[in-house]
Each structure stands twice: as structure tokens, then as C-alpha cells.
């Protein structure tokens, strides 16, 4: 087992690749003398014939796969670990508090779980808060870590919550939740649309430039689909499309969400606020497959989403044994709208 294999020195990594390729290890040493009669026979055999290396090597790293040596990746079976869920982080915090033999406020595990997805970082926050509490209450034999100490540690570390948006119940017109992925972490993106009638037949589509060029492509496809669905000529409307919070769209997967938000605003049909969608939309209204399904479902669950709509061609990527969230597959925009409009 090699921990942090992504940090290995390049020269050592090349030697490791040679071992993995030959399945044999050869030794070199300036201290070895093949003519020395005092060298044991098994040592001579090791240096002359090498040692079998037909073992299974396990390496671990926190780096992104793209940062690893391509030759190393080609020889590996890659296994990805999901981030810890808040309830698991809370359990780790409580265990750490018991080991420290210190009391904690009831809200402390929940607060920490909002800021970290790794057990080690959760422990570090608790340890820093423990040190702060001991400093404030020096001389006292019994300590208690309060929300105040935790908040102070979080402020000093400039940490921000991983889940920036929590889903609310009910329905809304022209608003829907999309899903994105960054560094193998799924997140919720809120897309909102406002529609105004244009009197001169020269309507425009406007959206926040921070969303990126892919947002422009998503809106372009969406307008064609909307015209086919409703028969409305969008030249008679001004459309304002906004990704709330200045989120960036780096791929086509927000096409379905953008189209549904525009449809909702034009037809004044409210959509469920606890539904999140992902999928590329074709100009014929078909929902095309996208990447990062596992991460998106995880991010949606963290944000409190109850139903996730994904392309039917991505159905094989849905993890088994999901609890607390429903995943629905669709072929086209009409199916997605029916689900999002349902009570």
C-alpha cells in the first residue's frame, strides 16, 4: 500500500512503473560485492535474479485523476470514494469528543458537518476548538466546546459551507434547480427566468455573463424547443435568464433545466422546488446523457432535493440502495415537465 501516491517523486515513480511492467524487482547497491564469500546465497540470488513482484499494489491519493501520471493510471483499476454524508461527519465529531473526554453543545456536530466532507478535517476543527476552549477556561478541569468556539475556528480558517443552498418546499414560476459537478463534488444550481412582452417583435435573450459560453448554447437550444412546445414566437418576448449566485455552467448538462425554467416562465406554470434536473437538451426536445450522475445525485441529496430527473440513457449510473431521494429517468422534455409540475 502506498499512501499519497500522487505526491511520489517522478524518478521513484518511473522505477515503480518498471516494477509493475516487469512484475519483478531488481536491486542495486554499491555495498553489494558478488565475489564476497560472506554474502549469503539468498542475497546473491536476489541481486542476480531479482524478486517476484506479482502482488496487488494499492495506492491512495486525494489528487484529481487528471493530475496523475497517465502511465500509472493506465496500469490501475480506479476506485472512487464518495464524500462523507453529514450524518457520518456528525458521528465522527461525537466520537472525537468522547476520546477528548470533553462535552460539546448539541449543535456542534451539525455545524461542523456543514463545512467539511472529510473526517480528518472534522477532527481538526474540533481539536482547534478544544484548544481555544482550554485557553479561554484555563485552570478548569472540566471543559465544554460551545458553538461560539466552533464559529470562531471556522471564521479564522475562512471556511465556507459546502452546501450553499438548501431546498425549500412548494412551487415557483420560472425557477428550477440544475445540477453541477466540480472536483468530484455535486452541487445545486438555481436557474431563474423572467419574461417580458416585447412590443416591437425584437425580443432579446439576456443572461449573466459569469455563467459562461455554455449557458448561451443552452439558451439557444432551449428557445428552439420552447417554440416547438408552445408555438410561441420568442421574438415577441424579452427573456432574462439568471444562474443565481453567479454560478458557472461548464457543460451542456444545464440545457434541460434552462429549457424548463423558460417554459415555466412563458406559460406561467409553477414547478416543484424540491426537484432538480440534469441533462442536455437537443433542439428536438430529446434529453441526452451527461456525465457526473453519481456526484450530482449525491449533491442533490445533500441539499435536500427529493426528486432528481436524469436522462434515461444514464439510468445504469444510478447507485443502488439510494435512500431519502427519488431518481426518475426521462426521454424528452415533456416527461420532465410532467414530473416537475406534479403535486
Cβ pair 171, 185 in contact under 8 A: no
8 Å CB contact between 164 and 245: yes
Q: Which of 113, 165, 187, 253 is catalytic?
A: 253
Scanning 137-286, the segments in alpha helix (DSSP H) are 147-156, 213-230, 255-267
Four-point Cα dihedral 180, 182, 188, 192, nearest 10: -60
Is residue 171 part of the annotated active site? The answer reads no
Distance of CA 33 to the CA centre of its chain: 55
Q: Are 32 and 39 within 8 A, CB to CB?
A: yes
Q: Which residues pair with 243 in a beta bridge?
A: 191
Residue 54's contacts (CB-CB under 8 Å, 6 or more residues apart) are 23
Contact 247/265 with Cβ under 8 angstroms?
no
296 assigned to active site: yes
Q: What does the radius of gyration of the chain's CA atoms come to, in whole angstroms? A: 28
Distance CA 114, CA 198 (A): 44
The closest alpha carbon to 118, from 193, 47, 192, 185, belongs to 185
The C-alpha cell that represents 3 in the structure block: 499512501
How far is residue 177's CA from residue 343's CA, in Å, rounded to a whole number? 17
Residues designated as active site: 253, 296
Amino acid at each position: 500500500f502506498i499512501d499519497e501516491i500522487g505526491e511520489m517523486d517522478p524518478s521513484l515513480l518511473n522505477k515503480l512503473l518498471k516494477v509493475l511492467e516487469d512484475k519483478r524487482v531488481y536491486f542495486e547497491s554499491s555495498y553489494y560485492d558478488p565475489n564476497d564469500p560472506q554474502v549469503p546465497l539468498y542475497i546473491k540470488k536476489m541481486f542476480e535474479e531479482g524478486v517476484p513482484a506479482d502482488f496487488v499494489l494499492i495506492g491512495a491519493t486525494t489528487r484529481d485523476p487528471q493530475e496523475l501520471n497517465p502511465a500509472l493510471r493506465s496500469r490501475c483499476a480506479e476506485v472512487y470514494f464518495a464524500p462523507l454524508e453529514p450524518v457520518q461527519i456528525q458521528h465522527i465529531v461525537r466520537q472525537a469528543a468522547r476520546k477528548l473526554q470533553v462535552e460539546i453543545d448539541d449543535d456542534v456536530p451539525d455545524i461542523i458537518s456543514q463545512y467539511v466532507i472529510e473526517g480528518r478535517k472534522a477532527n481538526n476543527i474540533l481539536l482547534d476548538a478544544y484548544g481555544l476552549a482550554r485557553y479561554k477556561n484555563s485552570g478548569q478541569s472540566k471543559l465544554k466546546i460551545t458553538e461560539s468556539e466552533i464559529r470562531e475556528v471556522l471564521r479564522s480558517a475562512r471556511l465556507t459551507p459546502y452546501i450553499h443552498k438548501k431546498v425549500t418546499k412548494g412551487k415557483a414560476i420560472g425557477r428550477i434547480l440544475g445540477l453541477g459537478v466540480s472536483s468530484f463534488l455535486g452541487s445545486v444550481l438555481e436557474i431563474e427566468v423572467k419574461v417580458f412582452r416585447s412590443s416591437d417583435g425584437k425580443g432579446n435573450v439576456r443572461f449573466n455573463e459569469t455563467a459562461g459560453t455554455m449557458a448561451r448554447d443552452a439558451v439557444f437550444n432551449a428557445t428552439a424547443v420552447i417554440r416547438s412546445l408552445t408555438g410561441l414566437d420568442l421574438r415577441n418576448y424579452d427573456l432574462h435568464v439568471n444562474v443565481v449566485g453567479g454560478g458557472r455552467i461548464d457543460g451542456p448538462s444545464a440545457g434541460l433545466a434552462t429549457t424548463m425554467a423558460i417554459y415555466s416562465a412563458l406559460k406561467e406554470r409553477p414547478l416543484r422546488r424540491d426537484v432538480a434536473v440534469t441533462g442536455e437538451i437537443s433542439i428536438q426536445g430529446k434529453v441526452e446523457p451527461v456525465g457526473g450522475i453519481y456526484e450530482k445525485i449525491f449533491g442533490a441529496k445533500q441539499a435536500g432535493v427529493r426528486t432528481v430527473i436524469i436522462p434515461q440513457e444514464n439510468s445504469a449510473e444510478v447507485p443502488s440502495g439510494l435512500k431519502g431521494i427519488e431518481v426518475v429517468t426521462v426521454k424528452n422534455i415533456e416527461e420532465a415537465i410532467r414530473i416537475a409540475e406534479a403535486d
